[in-house]
Amino acid sequence: MDRQTAKLLREKLNELIPMYGISEDYEIRVGNATYNDTEVTFKVTIKESGAPNQDEKDLVKYASLYDLDADRIATIAGNKYSLVGFNTRATKQPFIIQKLGIGKESSKYKITVEQAKEMYGKEAV
């Protein structure tokens, strides 16, 4: 087993799971893999459809801690951005924003606490 084989197997699993998935009530994601000479082990995550991920849950907590309005839409260089997550392991740029109007899988960016306060602070205009 090698890296390329593990990658191909993950791609096959990601194709097969939607066809033979558990239910439409769940989202299934095949993640990172560990492998040796004869086998590969994948991390498989199953969550309820529409359930928030950990970054979204943390955003609710830390937005109130930093007195931010998580529902506000900020404009940067004519583009609109929304707060979508908080990474508790990121020390320099923990807030995650997403560009709006491009589609469901639009670009996400990291910003500092100071930038988040500037753009999404409750006293900011």
Q: What tens digit of pLDDT does each residue of 26-56 get?
A: 888 899 999 999 999 999 988 888 888 899 9
Neighbours of 83 (CB within 10 A): 24
In the block, tokens 């939607």 appear at 18
The 3-state DSSP class for residue 43 equals: strand
Segments making up each domain of the chain, as ranges = 3-48, 54-120
Per-residue pLDDT tens digits for 100-119: 886 666 789 999 999 999 99
pLDDT for the residue numbered 105? 65
